[in-house]
Structure 1
Amino acid sequence: MIPPLVLPPSLTEAVQALPDKDRHRLTKALESLHTVNSRLWEAEDRVRAAGVDPAAVADAKRAIDQLNAERNQLAERADEVLTTLATAGSGEVPVHTETIAGSLDRLSVLTLRVFHTERAAERDDLMARRVPMLHHQRDELAAAIDVLTVEVTSGRRRLPGAARHKLYGRDQGAPISVRPARGIDRVVAFGGLSECGKSTSAQYLVDFHGAQRLKIGYLLQQGALRHGLSDPYQLSALRQAELLLEELNRFADGHRDVRLFTIESVHDDASITELKKLMGEVLQIVYLDAEFDVRAARSGTSPQAVAAKDEVKLSRGAHRVLEVADFVLDNTGSILDLRAWLTRIAQRPAIEPDQSPTAIPQSPELPAIVADATAALADALRAAGPAVQLAALTGSPVQSTWIPGWSDVDLLVVADHDAAPIVHRALADYRRRLGDAASVGLTLVTADELLAHRLVPRLAFALYNIQSGQPVLHRAAGLHLPAITLDDLARAAVRELPQVIITLRRLRAEATPGSVRQLYKHIVLAARLILREHGQWTSGPDEILAAASHLPGLDPLDLPTLHHVADAWRDGAPDNALTVVTAAADRLLAWYALQLAA
């Protein structure tokens, strides 16, 4: 247990006015600084102990160097926030001899000295006589920091630069060859000045693309600790890049389910350039650009505070990252535009053209009228030229599971936005040719929407099947489709399942003989999505329902086969199936509610 570091009143008041993000960052830095100073005190005591082994002294010296490096970095981190308290003044304003964090560092050490001296005073009269003097010194230092805070915030005093440029350890290691781990598909590194949107952009990739966020500082510190280096920032740019990649590989090896990573904050053009040489196209450097006024308005604090943060980043070369970036994104426009670019950057390379074969479905179960109408549709869409890039059927027509009177036709078309009238005319003719043989559902999207990954879950699943070799009706030369992974489908299942459950619950509440078909299909869809969440990739309604009956805690659904339900529907006797279908819906909905309640 160590005594707390108590901030002087004026500084406490000034800190409370900071934005939450900066206040929490400062609190964490100062708490860590105080803890490191306590560990330093203990390490130095171990070195001074009588009879200590020389090897233990060497170990303790390395620990002291490492702790001193951390101490300086934490003080710099605290100053990055504390300098934002300064009110802009002229160059004639006198400069203080040290930063606020430098004074707080001394206050931390003095607080620890009082604490240890008071403990020693219990058995040493000399120590007891020192205690009042040390309390007086601490009170005077706290008062001086109070005065300094008032002068800085009022513009009557300037603070010196926060960078300490301490040198602990040298880059003596032999060059090593590091390559990205096989488990890393893509790393997106974000650079830019203060409040440009780095954290928000990285969090978007976490929320919507399953990325793992990492900080460059964290990776470097971990690498330094592993190699016994005190200050990784004093190493060459190449050695820093090697440490970064070593730790990134180590993290990826321990988290095999993560394929996409983001790293922040890129404030040094030299080391990120070296990292790019090591990682190649696996690493995508993104510089987020925004005018100062825009960034200041977003910050929720004063323009002076943002400018102070910028000065720290500029001193490290943050502005030069723009020159080596793979992408420079203007983050002053539409959030949709920004997210579309982020998605394209984060995704695996699009599937090369001509990967999917083209064919008209001709399975024995498919009625001739459906096959003939589909062939005419393919001709009509192909005749539209480059405006229509892809046409494909999904579901039972291409999976040889067609059931007359039960199955639908689901049509996916990728076309330019301006081509919508052409597509709808072709669709109207398709419906006319089909007559009562089947109903048609259309999904019409643009190629840009696909590449920006603006995908509803069933569209993602259709694209996955296409990239797996399922035939399409028409595919234009040069069309690239986004690569869809099983992880993408698993995330899509998580997003889609709540809506499917809500629809299933509504259909069950309104169940009539006429709704048997929809109710049955939604039971199958919900079961398929639940299985995907459990890592089971089952296809076919009967197989899905059988697999779902083995989920932990779920009683068998006891549904007849698809053909039995479809026959009852087609023969005009849905009453025969309604009872068992609604009972299965009840069991599945009750089980789902119990899982969430748990």
Structure 2
Amino acid sequence: MTGNPPQLVLPAGLVRAIAALPAKDQQRLDDTFTRLHAANGHLWDAEDRVRGQHLTVLQVADCKREIDQFNSERNALAERADEVLGSLAGAGGTDAPLHTETIASVVDRLSVLTLRIWHSEQAVARDELMRRRIPALQQQREELCVALDTLVADAVAGHRRLPAPARFKIYGRDEPSSAEVVPSRHLKQVIAFGGLSESGKSTSADYVRQACGAHRFKIGYLLRQSAHRHGLADPYMLSPRRQAELLLEELNRFAEAHVEAQLFTIESVHDDASIAQLKLLMGDRLQIVYLDASFELRVERSGTLPQAVAAKDEVKISRGAREVASIADHVIDNSGSVIDLRARLRRISSSWGPHQLRAMATYGLSLPAEVATATTDFTDAIRTNTAVWLAALTGSPTAGPWIACWSDIDLLVIADHAAAEQVASALGRYQSALEGTTTIGLTLATREELIARRLTPRLAFALYEIQHGQPVLHATPGLELPTISRKELAVAATHELPQVVLTMRRLRAGADATRMRQLYKHLVLACRLILREHGMWESGPDHILASASRLPGLPAFDVPSLTDVVSEWQDGGSDQAYKSVINAVDQLLTWYAAELAAA
């Protein structure tokens, strides 16, 4: 079938009568007749679908509910139209003969006949009988239009009375689907929060929204939206399977319109049957979280009387809220600390798992012999401890060639807290071995902090680099790490940049040639963070500064290459590079302040 059904065309006599009504009534009738015709079109489609040979018993039942729903809607719309059309009646009083049906009932028949003609025309190519029926159907329509105009004229003149418009019909409202709904490829992950009143569902969903960038929805909102799209009044009358399909349809619709979205949350999971069906449709893309807490604690959190919480619990329990715990992927006892709750939520909502890390011997990193030897000794000293999970160099030792008196050692160690003393002892020997050669900074993090994503921006970037091929010195097989995305790093850059700018401004305030190294490194770091906010991922100081010089409104930096800056730093003679660095820092700080002021 091609195209859409034709619009409903009213006969001329009825159109003239309606034109005599107030503008508000004219608009109301136009809207009502348009919706009535649309409801008849939906009803026709539903009656076609219910005849499908491959429908399940449940789908047939749902189709029947949908048919009832559209019949209910057409009756309601006809009643609404007759309430307005009743004002057309003249002053004939009770002596005028009573007509058998209302004007809107005739319009409803006209709508159905219009659809019948159109569907017959669409079927001509496959059914010759339809071709012979069309002239008769068109004749019926002409006669019905004449009869309707006659009825309107008689009613306006008071020669005929119209019956009361009320139909007193009772129908269920439901909506089926003849094909299985599947998750959109853009629908990555959904977390559904269930639990009794004041158990922490909304608090948890809001935290996931703020911390993880999730899009937050209420189940009731999704169902109402889907019901509105399908012309359904009460989606809760659907079978659990159909409710689940409606929810998935709406989630799919949003995900496809926001392809950048990675995570969604849905709240108010009180019906165990429908959420179980949604789990069958979505599989592991849906994680059901049940939050539990004692009644006394929930009352305390609510700030209301126990009777009020108990009354809300009773409603939720009657819908199956308590049974959600038996099918949940995660049951969280939410009577502990906020830190505990948030750590659990971050693990559930974040991507993590074993990564293929690239291990490399220290001597493969192009380090000076004494640095490589000391680094190897440090690694050997901690790798035997089973509580040490990973050791890696980050920053300049892996980003480029080693520069004497300029490059630093940045160590990342992931270990249980119990290993901290051994790591500290090994670090002390490491520092002693390289005293006067370089400075060493250590970041010591636990696996729990990483998986709960309690990460500083620099730690997040270090993990990102490791997961994208930067070599490590030691890693326990099967180590699970949080997956860090570029989007997260762009957000992290906005949090780290203010601190870097403050430090750079402090260094600039007391600047002399001895601080050139610090100023230069902070200038490069600030530019790298700003570039990340712009979606640009440069590496290497020279490339970073050149790219930053092309940012809108920022004057081009006149900073020598890293090689020249280092050469001047090591020689301690000319201060030309130092002045260039100072000028670039001033340019960047002035530009940054102006950009913020513009906001």
TM-score normalised by length of structure 2: 0.72
Matched, 1:378 2:379: yes
Q: Which amino acid aligns with 1:480?
A: E
Give the C-alpha shift of residue 190 in structure 1: 0.7
* 8 Å CA contact 2:357, 2:472 repeated in 1: no
User: Match for residue 463 of structure 1?
Assistant: 463
What is the CA deviation profile of residues 385-406 of structure 1, one whole-angstrom value per residue up to 9, with x for unaligned ones? 2111110001121223321111
Q: Which amino acid aligns with 1:271?
A: S
Q: How does 1:65-104 map to 2 (within 5 A)?
A: none
Gap change, CA 1:53 and 1:376, over 3 Å in 2: closer
Q: Which amino acid aligns with 2:331?
A: V
What is the CA deviation profile of residues 58-97 of structure 1, one whole-angstrom value per residue up to 9, with x for unaligned ones? 47999x979x99xxxxxxxxxxxxxxxxxxxxxxxxxxxx
Tell me, in whole angstroms, the C-alpha distance in 1 between the residues paired with 2:203 and 2:458.
27
Matched, 1:349 2:331: no
Gap change, CA 1:53 and 1:236, over 3 Å in 2: closer
Tell me, in whole angstroms, the C-alpha distance in 1 between the residues paired with 2:39 and 2:275.
37
Matched, 1:169 2:176: no
* 8 Å CA contact 1:357, 1:469 repeated in 2: no
Q: Give 3-state SS (helix, strand or coil) of 2:322's partner.
A: helix
User: Match for residue 545 of structure 2?
Assistant: 545
User: Match for residue 232 of structure 1?
Assistant: 235
User: Match for residue 506 of structure 1?
Assistant: 506
Matched, 1:197 2:179: no
Could you tell me which runs of 5 or more consecutive residues in structure 1 were left unpaired when the two chains were aligned: 1-40, 70-115, 125-165
Give the C-alpha shift of residue 371 in structure 1: 1.1
Give the C-alpha shift of residue 225 in structure 1: 2.3
* 8 Å CA contact 1:413, 1:444 repeated in 2: yes
Tell me, in whole angstroms, the C-alpha distance in 2 between the residues paired with 1:247 and 1:198.
21
Superposed CA RMSD in Å reads 3.1
What is the CA deviation profile of residues 208-236 of structure 1, one whole-angstrom value per residue up to 9, with x for unaligned ones? 21111122122222222223332211111
Give the C-alpha shift of residue 177 in structure 1: 2.6
Matched, 1:387 2:390: no
Tell me, in whole angstroms, the C-alpha distance in 2 between the residues paired with 1:567 and 1:47.
80
Give the C-alpha shift of residue 477 in structure 1: 2.5
* 8 Å CA contact 2:504, 2:519 repeated in 1: yes
Tell me, in whole angstroms, the C-alpha distance in 2 between the residues paired with 1:188 and 1:429.
48
Gap change, CA 1:561 and 1:173, over 3 Å in 2: same
Tell me, in whole angstroms, the C-alpha distance in 2 between the residues paired with 1:225 and 1:47.
16
What is the CA deviation profile of residues 161-212 of structure 1, one whole-angstrom value per residue up to 9, with x for unaligned ones? xxxxx964234432x3333322333211111112211111111112121111
User: Match for residue 396 of structure 1?
Assistant: 396
Q: Give 3-state SS (helix, strand or coil) of 1:398's partner.
A: helix
Gap change, CA 1:47 and 1:408, over 3 Å in 2: closer
Q: How does 1:232-271 map to 2 (within 5 A)?
A: 232-271=235-274
Give the C-alpha shift of residue 47 in structure 1: 8.4
Gap change, CA 1:167 and 1:434, over 3 Å in 2: farther
Could you tell me which runs of 5 or more consecutive residues in structure 2 were left unpaired when the two chains were aligned: 1-24, 44-65, 74-82, 92-169
Tell me, in whole angstroms, the C-alpha distance in 2 between the residues paired with 1:332 and 1:519.
48
What is the CA deviation profile of residues 79-132 of structure 1, one whole-angstrom value per residue up to 9, with x for unaligned ones? xxxxxxxxxxxxxxxxxxxxxxxxxxxxxxxxxxxxx99xx9xxx9xxxxxxxx
Q: What is the aligned counterpart of 1:180 among 180, 183, 188? A: 183
User: Match for residue 283 of structure 2?
Assistant: 280
Gap change, CA 1:475 and 1:208, over 3 Å in 2: same
Gap change, CA 1:521 and 1:337, over 3 Å in 2: same
Q: Give 3-state SS (helix, strand or coil) of 1:535's partner.
A: coil
Gap change, CA 1:47 and 1:443, over 3 Å in 2: closer
Please say which of residues 440-449 and 486-495 is displaced more in the overlay: 486-495
Tell me, in whole angstroms, the C-alpha distance in 1 between the residues paired with 2:318 and 2:183.
30
Gap change, CA 1:59 and 1:307, over 3 Å in 2: farther
Q: What is the aligned counterpart of 2:37 among 52, 55, 66? A: 55
TM-score normalised by length of structure 1: 0.72
Tell me, in whole angstroms, the C-alpha distance in 2 between the residues paired with 1:239 and 1:191.
20
Tell me, in whole angstroms, the C-alpha distance in 1 between the residues paired with 2:426 and 2:69.
75
Q: Give 3-state SS (helix, strand or coil) of 1:411's partner.
A: strand
Q: Which amino acid aligns with 1:55?
A: H
Q: Which amino acid aligns with 1:532?
A: R
User: Match for residue 292 of structure 1?
Assistant: 295
Q: How does 1:12-161 map to 2 (within 5 A)?
A: 55=37, 58=40
User: Match for residue 588 of structure 1?
Assistant: 588
Q: Give 3-state SS (helix, strand or coil) of 1:362's partner.
A: helix
